[in-house]
Structure 1
């Protein structure tokens, strides 16, 4: 073993302290705000659970890009644990693995790191001694991939049940690691053979982002508590490796000093998850791919540790016409004969199987199950999928949970199935918000907010504190890329996105979001739904700019479309918020402004002359990010001022500018970086709207508000509410001080002054 010291201060130099460092620059004045989630519920992949066996009701959840949560046992609501992470540590919002110490109810460990590509920082272990209220950080000398293929496998991080000082961490690219000081430092386990986990020529090329966990694939660590004594490291440890055609299950019987392949273990498929029952049986779920996407094949096997014999106990056989794998198998801590196993990647929806005889026979639970989606009505439109973790509550054998790609479900009558009765399942994700907000629209009258959400369409939020009754449709979108409305006719709302089931990629409402329609046609070339939509102040003119495509204009609610003249392909257009005939556009890096006074039929160009020189083009990055921020964010865009014709704000990544009607842009002081920008209702007595900005002001990063046209700013968030990457911000035109914040993986928040 080669000791590696924690890389303190490395990679963006960020400690996770909640207080400002001594000697830091003076902080801007702050305006305290109260923050609450805009209730969507779930919306992303909750890929792992953990029950704390020492404390009934105490449980945790991890997500692939939206942090970790602890459940409030009194209310059932999940409490976010990583909202303090700032932008510089956004890579840590993805939780690769989660571990508890079964003998220390206050200990919690999170292995954090979202991607393994070279452009992102290394991962880190966050360790807590107070159930996630505060954390200490250990920087790791390798990367983790919480939002990559195989992210539902696990657990890769585990605490020795006999010695809480000992942690094991299975990496994707750098082998197996061990800590003997409760995660303060890690050492590489050189005794685990490299040939066991490194890819070779027989493995074939690694699949893409969605279906592979990369080049090296140790995906779980499992202890046999009976092989050790309290206070000493456990002797028997199992490790699963995501390979096929060669040994994939390894065992150590000397606390990790040496490792051998588990005798006669199956090698046709990859091990996904495993569980060890108290009667000495090891259960393993297998699949052809690491997931979480479609599978070709899979199985469930049982290993008798004492007899060293294997039995195939697969509940239902995949076939070429019905391909799928198995994601997990779990055992009831109170009874080693009671099991649950879940399929993965089944096209018509996944299945959960129940056994009460150690896998000899199985019963399908979903055939007659009842599902209650009241806590998140939109999930009724999505079949059950990505059941990559299933757990039975050690304190209540009737209570079980399973993950999905949009949160998770739970039952409180699991054992009814053993008597042939149906089980009842309900959404259990309240408090978990893991969506990506691609656009926000707050109309001048009517509902508070309309959201454009990645993967799960978007919502009309009539009540910010209650989930919407479902997604707006028709059409039914997957991603909604943009949504906006008419300043003077707020009943008109238009959205674009990726339509499902053959629908058109645009939908509109003429009654403030109560009902929706599809247009008769879409622009030539069948635009994909990416890009931007602009709606004139009176709602009669729509300009759709597909990503990289020719802008088109409609004056008849999408019955017909005409190519816009005078605009380069891909140019985002915004409506003037006073004059219905006027539109504005910008080519920032080509130093051009464009204006239309004929309802969007044509645009005239004029030079864009910034007082401090042209903007510099962004250098290419990864995962939508470049040296000018995330390309889905609100930076490098024009914004029109409500109530002032031709009055524009340019929220460039490197600063804020303003231009009156036809005048040159002037740079506003103090702002040095912008990631999101928006306007809201003016303060009492103020002439201009309130400004909201996510970025750096006077050398400080945060969310800021100005009520005096950017002369002064106040920070409105605090260090406990940072949410990693923020893509969008918008004020509410109806309520002074109310602001909406759209994050990358932590949903949408709304804030009001305290």
Structure 2
């Protein structure tokens, strides 16, 4: 039975139980770090750049999300900068969370004493950039293996910080300052300083139950980038004779006193054109370049090195990964040495090549290995290793085959990880359950929400980003998508299907050379398509893209929606200019009217949600000719008898996403779905009576940070699809009461 909230009586807002599941894509984003507990078999975590963190469930063989409780207002916490574990307490977990150093949202250390079931949030004054350049470096945070009270955290902009009370409070370490850290000016992408990227303890040196020897690495070149303390972190000096032509990316200290470091000429995942692998003997002070192969940037054969790992049971067995070796001698690779780097064997580009099994996430077959920024050998199993990519993880259980000249097999280890960004969602009236437009990996047609699409992501053409997808409301077999074609697989930036998404083909032409991305609208009968390419004015085709003509009467970047009943009608608006546009000639021309919103137009401000979200948009009601809703960031409106006069819906104060679904039984009006704030309560809501009353359908454990898109299913009452920023796509169904 639904529980009544303490809200105004007129709103009659209730909470209804929903069962939430991920629409299965698996991965779809950059997993930038893997963190094993050094002694507890099967205990490991992974972090992502904007989709939270996960814990491995060894019983179910799936990843379990740890940050789905993060609210919209705290969504900056979804980017995980670093994870640290206490080697002597398997329950202790620390996560440094903050997506952007420029964000006004919180930066926090999340402290758990039960492996992530619950957290204490400790807001901190130092800034983090979990989705900025260098996010694959690390680990920036580490627990003293001889004293679990002590934790160090290296930051991007604010020097080195320390906690003496298991993360409850933090203070700046005076021996290391932000002035020692230089910005990376080699790239325009996040050119702010990357800062201190790793903290390593030498466990053999301790006094009074704490480590005395500590190393930190700084992401910079041309000056010292490896520092050492021999007094437990009070004083820091640069390590003598260190290489400074490149910047470190990862480091690991072996049990026999060898420090192994990978280097590049950028932090990554921005491009690298040079790199190296070095061994530093911490006992003798000697440095040695042990790079498996040397880059040749002057001849176009440049690349860097990103990851390094050691076999805990065999300290002379090490592995490293190349970075940005695309199209060069077979692409990025992992090199393995069993003699401390004196000799190496490649895993994927040698005479004996490793094999990929992508059956758990078929779309991976369309995307090569890239952003291989972390690599870990299981500390309790020499044969087991995992590496990261821009779309998730791969693992092998026959790693030592490399040593015997046999191939290894690497399977996708993504079950449970959903990290895509939903840019638009379409649940057509007939056919497929869901068609998604997502960032980086194009999009998918899901006929079964609980399994990955067997054909993988969109092809013919394959898009890197799909920014718009639309179907004919009365003829949903016709579907059109627009976006940005993949560099790897060409074919243009628009495609259409005449069979509900089973097969796709590019149009014969585009409005102009370079037309890409933007939004697409398909008339109710599927005949007319209006494409507004990015930063341009709309164009229309009535012959499946063979020819295009300019749409008159509309400004640049106008998003157009089709009437869901009458194929001759389209609508658009310029919200802040107070203009409503209507076409009654199938989209060829539009007439402008004044847009009248009850209470006046909203103010044009910067803080109106993510521009890719569903706010500040106009929506046409399924099955109701001429009926429109406008979901502004700060209010919800519907048109009355006159098409340009809109009434305001009470109690709705903030909107991030809005959409329609199948009407409730005994109702003829579509259900409304909204992500935002109603009567001061944040959440996801459904209304079955045209916005008079709302039901909250999510709980505090299902918030997912930033939500960009929402739509109901026109085929099943109560089903809703929620597209997040980095936690993939969810679908929810009502829990039926007995």
Fold equivalence (TM over 0.5): yes
Q: What is the Cα deviation at residue 208 of structure 1?
A: 2.3
Find the counterpart in structure 2 of residue 452 from structure 1: 437
Please give the alpha-carbon distance, in whole angstroms, between the structure 1 residues aligned to 2:337 and 2:104.
43
Q: Is this contact kept in 2: 1:646–1:660, CA < 8 A?
A: no
2:249 paired with 1:249: no
2:160 paired with 1:176: yes
Find the counterpart in structure 2 of residue 288 from structure 1: 265
* Secondary structure of the structure 1 residue equivalent to 2:74: helix
The residue correspondences of 1:144-293 to structure 2 (distance < 5 A) are 144-192=128-176, 195=179, 197-199=180-182, 205=185, 207-209=187-189, 212=191, 214-215=192-193, 217-228=195-206, 232-293=209-270
* Secondary structure of the structure 2 residue equivalent to 1:418: helix
2:528 paired with 1:538: no
Q: Is this contact kept in 2: 1:376–1:467, CA < 8 A?
A: yes
Q: What is the Cα deviation at residue 123 of structure 1?
A: 1.4
Q: Is this contact kept in 1: 2:496–2:504, CA < 8 A?
A: yes
Please give the alpha-carbon distance, in whole angstroms, between the structure 2 residues aligned to 1:134 and 1:228.
32
Q: Is this contact kept in 1: 2:631–2:658, CA < 8 A?
A: yes
2:338 paired with 1:338: no
Q: Is this contact kept in 2: 1:122–1:142, CA < 8 A?
A: no
Q: What is the Cα deviation at residue 23 of structure 1?
A: 10
Find the counterpart in structure 1 of residue 338 from structure 2: 356
2:507 aligned to 509, 512, 519, which one?
A: 519
Residues 193 and 454 of structure 1, relative CA distance in 2, 3 Å threshold: closer
Q: Is this contact kept in 2: 1:121–1:143, CA < 8 A?
A: no
The residue correspondences of 1:476-515 to structure 2 (distance < 5 A) are 476-500=462-486, 501-515=489-503
Q: What is the Cα deviation at residue 660 of structure 1?
A: 4.3
Please give the alpha-carbon distance, in whole angstroms, between the structure 1 residues aligned to 2:680 and 2:287.
62
Please give the alpha-carbon distance, in whole angstroms, between the structure 2 residues aligned to 1:502 and 1:652.
37
Find the counterpart in structure 1 of residue 456 from structure 2: 470
Please give the alpha-carbon distance, in whole angstroms, between the structure 2 residues aligned to 1:331 and 1:660.
68
2:724 paired with 1:743: yes
Residues 711 and 252 of structure 1, relative CA distance in 2, 3 Å threshold: same
Q: Is this contact kept in 2: 1:594–1:603, CA < 8 A?
A: yes
Please give the alpha-carbon distance, in whole angstroms, between the structure 2 residues aligned to 1:548 and 1:65.
27
Q: What is the Cα deviation at residue 284 of structure 1?
A: 0.7
Find the counterpart in structure 2 of residue 16 from structure 1: none
1:347 aligned to 317, 323, 326, which one?
A: 326
Stretch deviating more after TM superposition (50-59 or 391-400): 50-59
Q: What is the Cα deviation at residue 416 of structure 1?
A: 1.1
Find the counterpart in structure 2 of residue 388 from structure 1: 373
CA deviation map 1:15-73 (0-9, x unaligned): xxxxx9x9999994101101111111111110001111332111100000000000110
Please give the alpha-carbon distance, in whole angstroms, between the structure 2 residues aligned to 1:25 and 1:278.
64
Find the counterpart in structure 2 of residue 306 from structure 1: 283
Q: What is the Cα deviation at residue 192 of structure 1?
A: 2.3
Please give the alpha-carbon distance, in whole angstroms, between the structure 1 residues aligned to 2:79 and 2:91.
22
Residues 194 and 540 of structure 1, relative CA distance in 2, 3 Å threshold: closer
2:581 paired with 1:594: yes
CA deviation map 1:525-575 (0-9, x unaligned): 53122x110001110110011233111111111111111112122211100
Q: Is this contact kept in 2: 1:294–1:347, CA < 8 A?
A: no
Please give the alpha-carbon distance, in whole angstroms, between the structure 1 residues aligned to 2:344 and 2:215.
26
* Secondary structure of the structure 2 residue equivalent to 1:380: helix
Q: Is this contact kept in 2: 1:67–1:95, CA < 8 A?
A: yes
2:24 paired with 1:50: no
Find the counterpart in structure 2 of residue 412 from structure 1: 397
Q: What is the Cα deviation at residue 643 of structure 1?
A: 1.2
The residue correspondences of 1:345-744 to structure 2 (distance < 5 A) are 345-348=324-327, 349-367=331-349, 368-468=353-453, 469-500=455-486, 501-529=489-517, 531-619=518-606, 627-660=607-640, 662-663=642-643, 664-744=645-725
* Secondary structure of the structure 2 residue equivalent to 1:88: coil
Q: What is the Cα deviation at residue 601 of structure 1?
A: 0.6
Please give the alpha-carbon distance, in whole angstroms, between the structure 1 residues aligned to 2:177 and 2:465.
43
Find the counterpart in structure 1 of residue 306 from structure 2: 327
Q: What is the Cα deviation at residue 679 of structure 1?
A: 0.2
Find the counterpart in structure 2 of residue 78 from structure 1: 63
Please give the alpha-carbon distance, in whole angstroms, between the structure 2 residues aligned to 1:532 and 1:492.
16
CA deviation map 1:183-206 (0-9, x unaligned): 0001111022555x332xxx7736
Please give the alpha-carbon distance, in whole angstroms, between the structure 2 residues aligned to 1:24 and 1:188.
45
Find the counterpart in structure 2 of residue 59 from structure 1: 44
* Secondary structure of the structure 1 residue equivalent to 2:27: coil
Q: Is this contact kept in 2: 1:97–1:111, CA < 8 A?
A: yes
List gaps (5 residues or longer) in structure 1: 1-19, 620-626
Stretch deviating more after TM superposition (342-351 or 167-176): 342-351
Please give the alpha-carbon distance, in whole angstroms, between the structure 1 residues aligned to 2:224 and 2:164.
28
Q: Structure 1 length as normaliser, TM-score?
A: 0.93
Q: What is the Cα deviation at residue 493 of structure 1?
A: 0.7
Q: Is this contact kept in 2: 1:294–1:346, CA < 8 A?
A: no
Instruction: Tell me how large the CA RMSD over aligned residues is.
Output: 1.7
Q: What is the Cα deviation at residue 487 of structure 1?
A: 0.8
Please give the alpha-carbon distance, in whole angstroms, between the structure 1 residues aligned to 2:382 and 2:94.
26
Residues 651 and 81 of structure 1, relative CA distance in 2, 3 Å threshold: same
Q: Is this contact kept in 2: 1:49–1:60, CA < 8 A?
A: yes
Please give the alpha-carbon distance, in whole angstroms, between the structure 1 residues aligned to 2:303 and 2:473.
49
Q: Structure 2 length as normaliser, TM-score?
A: 0.95
Count of residue pairs the alignment pairs up: 718
Find the counterpart in structure 2 of residue 623 from structure 1: none
Please give the alpha-carbon distance, in whole angstroms, between the structure 1 residues aligned to 2:369 and 2:129.
24
- The runs of at least 4 aligned residues of structure 1 exceeding 6 Å deviation read 22-27
* Secondary structure of the structure 1 residue equivalent to 2:305: strand
Q: Is this contact kept in 2: 1:206–1:215, CA < 8 A?
A: no
Please give the alpha-carbon distance, in whole angstroms, between the structure 1 residues aligned to 2:337 and 2:193.
35
Q: Is this contact kept in 1: 2:428–2:476, CA < 8 A?
A: yes
Q: Is this contact kept in 2: 1:287–1:297, CA < 8 A?
A: yes
CA deviation map 1:109-162 (0-9, x unaligned): 000001112x42351100100000100011111210111101111100001111
* Secondary structure of the structure 2 residue equivalent to 1:491: strand
Q: What is the Cα deviation at residue 700 of structure 1?
A: 0.7
2:123 paired with 1:139: yes
* Secondary structure of the structure 1 residue equivalent to 2:597: coil
List gaps (5 residues or longer) in structure 2: none
Stretch deviating more after TM superposition (652-661 or 436-445): 652-661
Please give the alpha-carbon distance, in whole angstroms, between the structure 1 residues aligned to 2:385 and 2:13.
48
* Secondary structure of the structure 2 residue equivalent to 1:87: coil
